[in-house]
Structure 1
Amino acid sequence: MLTEQQQQIITNIYDYVCIKLANDTTGHDIAHIERVVKLAKHIQSFEPQTNLFIVIISAYLHDVIDDKVIENYQSARNDLLAFMAQQPITQDEQLAIFSIIDNMSFSKNLTKQRALSREGQIVQDADRLDAMGAIGIGRAFYYGGNKHDSMYDPNIKPRILKSKADYRQSNTIINHFYEKLLLLKDKINTPEGKRLAEQRHHFLIEFVKRFEIEWEGE
């Protein structure tokens, strides 16, 4: 159970995130954050040995210093550090939170799996689950449209991503399914996350199959 003080800290962080992501048009808005928090809390309920407070805060903050979302990484990080210093959070808690949000993203784990606490694995699973299924499809097209990517070009083949630079390089939206979304199922950490991922992964496969058939006018 969370204490009254912890609940207030979470409220403060929620308000902070709402302000920071208020103008997001990439699919990393507060609605995404709230879904990730809900999924993380659900998965954590199957992992009672973990710290719910750390899970919730990390889930709320996981995108506020992500360089695919914000314009100036160092400025955003400094702002978050200053904000967190104002909260009654211990140094160990802050280290645990930053260790998660600094290391959980897909792009940072392309070449080597970064070590995450169990709390970090829970938040990572929740974030990856929101990139799958029906919501994941919607977010993929929303993000791709924001970046002016074309929907599909059968002459442009999916890549094997080897670096963050590869990941950030523009490509078709359907290729994003092959390069990332369809790979997420096998990268989930927790048993409950794996269970949820199976359903969402199947939906992705069926969508891509149908999309490619309809693209040909069939």
Structure 2
Amino acid sequence: MALTTADQLIIDRTAAFVREKFLHEGSGHDWEHIRRVWQTTRALARQTAQADELVAELGALLHDVADWKFHGGDEDAGPRAARAWLTSQQVAESVIERVETIIREVSFKGLGVATPMSTVEGELVQDADRLDAIGAIGVARAFAYGGHKGRPLHDPAVPPVQHDSFEGYKRNAGPTVNHFYEKLLHLRERLHTPAARRVAEGRQQFMEQFLEQFLSEWEGRDLSN
């Protein structure tokens, strides 16, 4: 569904609002992350005839507006914050409800937890968000978040955990390298769109090569070559 002039205005206002809120955030969930997810979502939406571009773009811009990771595990913080902003902008209730649903459903919740999206717009935002969690930027963001949380880079004595509940996943505080095996390496197989899956191939390969090099250096194997 093509955007009207009024739609573009609310998107522009929302982008400015989110940019100001997250410009100096340092955990990898900053404005540049949101901008990339927004731009990728927009590109995917324009390739998807049945997508409502307004809902998709607003969902992308607001998907991290109040992430549970930074709000005491409160899963409703994001939908509440999005509703407050969109209501202040006189956005239609039908649009607000669909954006809330995207925010509520989009997050990874553990390797053993299914995270289906109930709308095509949600699938686009989830694909865009997950693409930004893998590849070179994904590696950088993983370590930025780990440092933000005070987590060690790696600890061979702490094995990765395949969380089978969202509550267990939220309590996880393992080393950053574990995050690759608990989440990042599994995102490619959970993407919805052919375009996202194509992009993911190269990013997946980069992560695998990075981990091979990281562990080689950690264990000193490269010194014996």
TM-score, structure 2 normalization: 0.89
Mapped to 1, the partners of 2:150 and 2:68 lie a distance apart of 18
Q: Distance in 1 between matches of 2:13 and 2:158?
A: 45
* 2:207 is the counterpart of 1:190: no
Aligned residue in 1 for 2:19: 18
Instruction: Write the mapping of 1:27-42 to structure 2, written as runs, cut at 5 A.
Output: 27-42=28-43
One of 84, 95, 98 as aligned partner of 2:97: 95
Looking at structure 1, the residues matched to 61 and 80 of structure 2 have their Cα atoms a distance apart, in angstroms, of 17
Cα RMSD, aligned residues only: 1.9
Structure 2 residues without counterparts, runs of 5 or longer: none
| Distance of aligned partners of 1:112 and 1:72 in 2 relative to their CA distance in 1, 3 Å threshold | closer
Q: Residue 146 of structure 2 is aligned with which of 135, 144, 147? A: 144
Give the Cα–Cα distance (whole angstroms) in 2 for the partners of residues 112 and 76 of structure 1: 20
CA pair 22-106 structure 1, distance change in 2 beyond 3 A: same
Structure 1 residues 47 and 22, CA, compared in 2 at 3 Å: closer, same or farther?
same
- C-alpha spacing 1:114/1:86, structure 2 compared with 1 (3 Å): same
Distance 1:160 1:72 in 2: 19
In the alignment, which residue of structure 2 is the partner of 1:130? 132
Q: What's 2:83 paired with?
A: 81
TM-score by length of structure 1 reads 0.92
Q: Deviations over 1:152-175 (max 9, x none)?
A: 111211111122233232101111
- Per-residue deviation at 1:76? 6.0
How far apart in 1 are the matches of 2:112 and 2:20? 30
Quote the residue 2:116 is aligned against: 114
2:157 corresponding residue in structure 1: 155
Separation of aligned partners in 2, 1:75 and 1:204:
31
Aligned equivalents of 2:112 and 2:45: distance in 1? 25
8 Å contact from structure 2 (residues 124, 193) kept in 1: yes
Letter in 2 for 1:164: F
The one-letter code matched in structure 2 to 1:201 is: Q
Q: Which of residues 160, 170, 173 in structure 1 aligns to 2:173?
A: 170
> Conserved in 2, the CA contact under 8 Å of 1:161 and 1:167?
yes
What is the distance in 2 between the residues matched to 1:63 and 1:114? Answer: 18
Superposed displacement of residue 107, structure 1: 1.7
Q: SS in structure 2 opposite 1:107?
A: coil
Which whole-Å CA distance do the structure 1 matches of 2:165 and 2:26 have between them?
25
Matched position secondary structure for 1:141: helix
Which residue is equivalent to 1:65? 66
**When the two structures are aligned, how many residues end up with a matched partner?**
218
- Once residues 80 and 102 of structure 2 are traced to their aligned partners in structure 1, the CA distance between those partners, rounded to angstroms, is 17
Q: For residue 9 of structure 2, what is the aligned residue in structure 1? A: 8
Amino acid at match of 1:83: W
